[in-house]
Structure 1
């Protein structure tokens, strides 16, 4: 989906108070403990990679249903992506636990990456709440990227680091997530360039999620400044 800048929408704040978080904290390998108190912003120029990281459980990006001979073809200047593997939610991601939330976040971003490649957000939308303002702006920009025959090339997302800040008994849990997104090219239905390309990004996000009626849902999201 089109990448959003800080000028596109107002500051996203956590559900209770302004959080004091920095990318340096994310990449230091700090685990657990209460959330520090810096504010969230919607843009970041950070490009540093983590010094250490634990294996991150991610959704399998294999087509649902029986095996198929269809070959995946990423989007390019000639047309849309074809036969994009559909992310499958791990069973662990359905659990109300620290490990379950970590697996859910991997799946959530896999679905968001799938939205970028296909414009299909039918499986991603049930994973957010209407309280997540940045999520709603991502929805709007994702829809705009594929309206009237438009498409995107690139934009695939990976999450090499997920640090769940689990607080037992709290209704809402939060995590620090490193999100790397490929550069994006935009095309109109006739193949002409739709708008200026976006470069690759490497950012740190604070993601807040709540376990509701047997599943996780993202309630707030923002870049860490």
Structure 2
């Protein structure tokens, strides 16, 4: 792998590059109830994985990747519920980075979340174009602070956290893309805003991103 120069896979994906010809939309998520996995499908621990997990490699993308499970605690209108939802979201993004299936991330993404939409559409496009990622580890979250409050009959939560991305190799049609791969992990301070949907009884991510960009997006 080449030197990463402190870059990250997320910045690479959102910036796009010619080999993958990614087109990232800032219109937000277009999730509907029919397109999202049912809650019980993500929480039923009795659904055992029947095939062995095969990590991604130069030979091809990962196979039989364990599906993320939305924990029951994520349905609680509490700080713990908001935190569990955020952790699930990044597990679902990791799943999408390994498979191209981003429906699990859509489950907790609001249609106002631009970065959610970018990640969901971006990783889906990568795999549609016969490309894949080899992750050298998982996303690691260190939650620093969680605040919840009721505002205009709506429960909202703000979460500050440090996210560390693993090193990653990118492949297209079996070709290793050295210039677009990252050989070291990277960390940054992030912020997320969530709201609690009383109808679905779960938290939805309304905004997520690097803290430095928060004030810019709110102007």
1:149 aligns with 2:130: yes
Pick from 169, 175, 179: which aligns with 1:192? 175
Report matched runs for 1:120-135 at 5 Å. Answer: 120-135=101-116
Give the structure-2-normalised TM-score: 0.69
1:136 aligns with 2:117: yes
Between the aligned partners of 2:44 and 2:77, the Cα distance in structure 1 is: 26
Root-mean-square deviation (CA, aligned residues, Å) is 2.9
- SS of residue paired to 2:82: helix
- SS of residue paired to 2:181: strand
Between the aligned partners of 1:192 and 1:6, the Cα distance in structure 2 is: 18
Distance 1:7 1:141, change over 3 A: closer
Aligned partner of 1:209 in structure 2 is 194
Between the aligned partners of 2:46 and 2:111, the Cα distance in structure 1 is: 31
Between the aligned partners of 2:166 and 2:44, the Cα distance in structure 1 is: 22
Unpaired stretches in structure 2, ≥5 consecutive residues: 1-7, 17-25, 27-41, 213-219
Distance 1:63 1:146, change over 3 A: farther
Between the aligned partners of 1:140 and 1:149, the Cα distance in structure 2 is: 15
Q: Check the 8 A contact 2:148/2:156 in 1, yes or no.
A: no
| TM-superposition CA deviations, 1:38-94 (whole Å, max 9, x none) | xxxxxxxxxxxxxxxxxxxxxxx9996443452222111111111211111111111
| TM-superposition CA deviations, 1:92-138 (whole Å, max 9, x none) | 11111111111111111111111111111111112112211111221
Between the aligned partners of 2:125 and 2:13, the Cα distance in structure 1 is: 18
Aligned partner of 1:181 in structure 2 is 165
Unpaired stretches in structure 1, ≥5 consecutive residues: 13-60
Bigger Cα displacement from structure 2, 131-140 vs 90-99:
131-140
Between the aligned partners of 2:92 and 2:135, the Cα distance in structure 1 is: 15
Between the aligned partners of 2:43 and 2:53, the Cα distance in structure 1 is: 11
Give the structure-1-normalised TM-score: 0.68
Distance 1:103 1:185, change over 3 A: same
Distance 1:131 1:109, change over 3 A: same
Distance 1:211 1:152, change over 3 A: same
1:99 aligns with 2:101: no
